[in-house]
Amino acid sequence: MRGTLAVFRRELAGYFATPVAYVFIVIFLLLTGIFTFQLGRLYENGNADLRIFFDWHPWLYLFLIPAISMRLWAEERRSGTLELLLTLPISLGGAVLGKFLAAWAFAAVALVLTFPVWITVSYLGKPDHGVILAGYLGSLMLAGGYLAIGQCISSISKSQVIAFVIAVVVCFVFMLIGFDPVLKVFRGWLPDNIVSALSSLSFLTNFESISKGVIDFRGVVFFGSLIGVFLFINAVVIEAKKG
């Protein structure tokens, strides 16, 4: 798509042009360390794996990823640069995709910087590195799903705060439908095939299917499809604003 690379470079550079990016990365690394070593008790559980580390990612991303995505379009609309951006020789699809890829790359940088945790378990034992790689892939796909939703919500509102709150709520709903207590409520009045379909839409269910080590392509397809759908909705919303 025309202009994707240019928008990608602009947005990615914009993250690191302010201290906000570095503050986000530090907070993310501190929280992953606290949840893994303090709350998760990685040293005490006696297992040389990163299962505990990855189990916290859906909850960390629930608040941290919308904090990245809330500015993607809301800031453009608030500052009045949206019209300028859309008059450049850049396709709408290129602008949407470029912004998403820049935010996803930024999230990937933060995720890669957690490598000391991997080194730690490798030092303590003999982990299955294939399982760990699958966990990182699942975490990256999960972050992409959150980002696509957050970016779409950001295109609706001029307020970054409102975009953040709505994105958190929508992402929480996608997580909540995978909980057994919620599914038990649905089983009381819905057919099993519908309950199963709802469960298949859960971030938790699809994330776990990838992070267990045997990469389930249904999870990859789910996150890929979800990203595509919300980016398409994002483009439709921006086109409507442009009109």
The residue type found at 136 is: Y
pTM of the predicted model, to two decimals?
0.87
* pLDDT surpassing 90 at residue 128: no
Work out the widest C-alpha separation in the chain, in whole angstroms: 59
Q: Give the helix/strand (H/E) hosting 35.
A: none
234 neighbors 152 (Cβ within 8 angstroms): yes
SS3 label, residue 61: helix
Those residues whose C-beta lies under 8 Å from the C-beta of residue 100, and which sit 6 or more positions away, are: 72, 147, 148, 151, 227, 231
Token pair for 12: 């990615």
pLDDT the model gives residue 4: 84
The pLDDT confidence band at residue 168, using thresholds 50, 70 and 90, is very high
* pLDDT surpassing 80 at residue 154: yes
Nearest 5°: phi and psi at 184? -65, -35
Q: Could you report the per-residue pLDDT of 22-76, keeping only the tens digit for each?
A: 888 999 999 888 888 776 666 666 666 677 888 889 889 998 999 888 888 877 7
218 neighbors 209 (Cβ within 8 angstroms): yes
